[in-house]
Chains A and B, each alone.
Chain A
Amino acid sequence: MFPPELDYVRARSLDEAIGVLASREDAVPIAGGQSLVPLLKLRAVSPGLLVDIRGLKGLGGVDVGGPIRIGALATHGDIEGHAELRARCPVMAEAASKIADVQVRSFGTVGGSLAHADPLADWPPVLMALDAEVHVHGPSGSRAIPMGDFVRGPYTTALERGELVTGIVVRDCPRGAAYLKYAYRHGDFAVVAVAAALRADGGHVSEARLAAIGVADRPLRLGQAEARLAGVPVSEDAFADAAEAAARSVSPPDDHRASSGYRRALLATLVKRALRAAAGR
């Protein structure tokens, strides 16, 4: 399989990249290429021009000084291997290590993953449970989009024409957070996965955030399950109750990978286990 004929330019600055992307209808950015190259080979997309942003300075890196800032060009491997980030926000390293395999993680970026918005991508549920912000920059300047508002549907995001993801910011990463992914084979996309972030005060839940993939056509925040947890004692009963509420709140798709009922049952099990894991940290 060969990509279609196309032109290629290496952007020298963020503004140059945005200028080209905004002015040419057939231009698309390329970061790690780990989602885009397969699409090119399948001829699912045929852009006239690729604007390579991988060399842009200032768009990579991980900074845990104040709020956690992760550049759009940070690879899954960079995130997995960052010792200070692992200490400060272990769930991010945990999630990164569950994406694909080491080769894909060497090049695939967090910004590319968010912009691609595969309904089964692993970053969105994790970043939703962490209440992260997605920072973007475009022809009309910069803005921050709450992760919960960023994915608008399958392969569809809040990005406007010419806008690039520049990074993500996590202001608050509870130690009690976990990401549980169920896939048929090691490194596959999830069938169902659940991210949980939990805080307790005097044995009672003070904050609970849950998000899942594989139970709708996009990542979902599990609001009804979260509501069940508000203020209750941290206990197996509470987790079971939240799991049941989560399962009742979704209508999962029925497809060749898993039936709707199976996805619902998986969701309940993973919610319970994710909460248990989060509470144990």
Chain B
Amino acid sequence: MRVGLRVNGTFHEVDVEPRALLVHVLRGLGYRSVRVGCDTATCGACTVLIDGRPAKSCNLLAVQVDGAEIVTAEHADGLLERLRKSFNAHHAAQCGYCTSGMLMAAYALLSRRERPSEDEVREHMAGVLCRCTGYQNIVRAVVEA
């Protein structure tokens, strides 16, 4: 099936099998920040924004989001740049596997709310798991971004 996706502002038209998962299609297009962690909709490493809302790309078929506007951690804009700098400054990554999912969850929250409280950050980011950092620095990085 022909599917059109606008990823970080660039339009792609791709031929996909209906059973293809969005995460695999995005990686195939070169968006390697989008990672497969658990492959069971649990860890959030594959989180991207779809029409402004965060979603797990391992748990959607690409055909379901034909025509959608997608944002991945490769995106370049002021907010993502601010978040990247803040993650760096607060040592919010160790192995880095969860980081693109964390960035996308944070990006989704900060695009809707300028100054979220620590509790809001924790609640909103609960769908991305980190097995290294213990979360403290990630939460601080988002609160202070």
A153 at the interface (CB under 8 A from B): no
B64 near A3 with CB under 8 A, answer no
- Is B124 located at the chain interface by the 8 A CB criterion? yes
Complex interface residues of chain B between 1 and 56 (CB less than 8 A to chain A): 1, 17-19, 21, 39-41, 44, 47, 50, 53-56
A139: interface (CB < 8 Å): no
Residue of A nearest to B49 (CB): A106
Report Cα–Cα, A37/B53, bound state, in Å. Answer: 18
Q: In residues 52-107 of chain B, which contact A (Cβ within 8 Å)?
A: 53-56, 59-61, 63-64, 66, 105
Q: How many A-B residue pairs have CB under 8 A?
A: 77
Chain B positions within 8 Å of A187 at CB level: 126-127
Residues 92-140 of B at the A interface (beta carbon under 8 Å): 105, 108, 124, 126-127
B interface size (C-beta, 8 A):
26
How far is it, in angstroms, between the C-alpha of A98 and the C-alpha of B108 when the chains are bound? 19
User: Are B127 and A107 in contact, with the CB atoms below 8 A?
Assistant: no
- State whether the Cβ of A77 lies closer than 8 Å to any Cβ in chain B: yes
Q: Which of A5-13, A217-225, A237-245 is near enough to bind chain B?
A: A5-13
Say how far A95's CB is from chain B's closest CB, in angstroms.
15
Decide if A54 touches B105 in the complex (CB within 8 Å): no
- A3, A50, A77, A102 — most chain B CB neighbours (10 Å): A102
Contact A100–B127 (Cβ < 8 Å): yes
Bound Cα distance A186, B127 (Å):
9
Query: Are A106's CB and B55's CB within 8 A?
Result: yes
Cross-chain contact of A40 among B19, B124, B126, B127 (Cβ < 8 A): B19
A76→B119 CA distance, assembly (Å): 20
Question: Complex formed: what's the CA distance from A280 to B55 in Å?
Answer: 35
Q: How far is the CB of A106 from chain B (nearest CB, A)?
A: 4
Instruction: Write out the residue numbers on chain A whose beta carbons fall within 8 Å of the beta carbon of B124.
Output: 102
Query: Which residues on the A side are within 8 Å of B126 (C-beta)?
Result: 101-102, 186-187
- Residue-wise interface mask of A (183-219) relative to B, using a CB-CB cutoff of 8 A (1 in contact, 0 not): 0001100000000000000000000000000000000
B41 touches A106 (CB 8 A): no
Please indicate the chain A residues that have their CB under 8 angstroms from the CB of B61 in the complex. Answer: 3, 8, 30, 33, 37, 50
Asked whether B44 lies within 8 Å of A33 as measured between CB atoms, the reply is no
B interface residue numbers (CB < 8 A to A) = 1, 17-19, 21, 39-41, 44, 47, 50, 53-56, 59-61, 63-64, 66, 105, 108, 124, 126-127
Interface pairs A-B: 10 shortest CB-CB: A101-B127, A8-B18, A106-B53, A3-B19, A103-B127, A103-B56, A106-B55, A103-B54, A186-B126, A37-B59
Q: What are 7 contact pairs spanning A and B, CB under 8 A? A: A1-B40, A2-B21, A7-B18, A10-B63, A102-B108, A104-B56, A107-B55
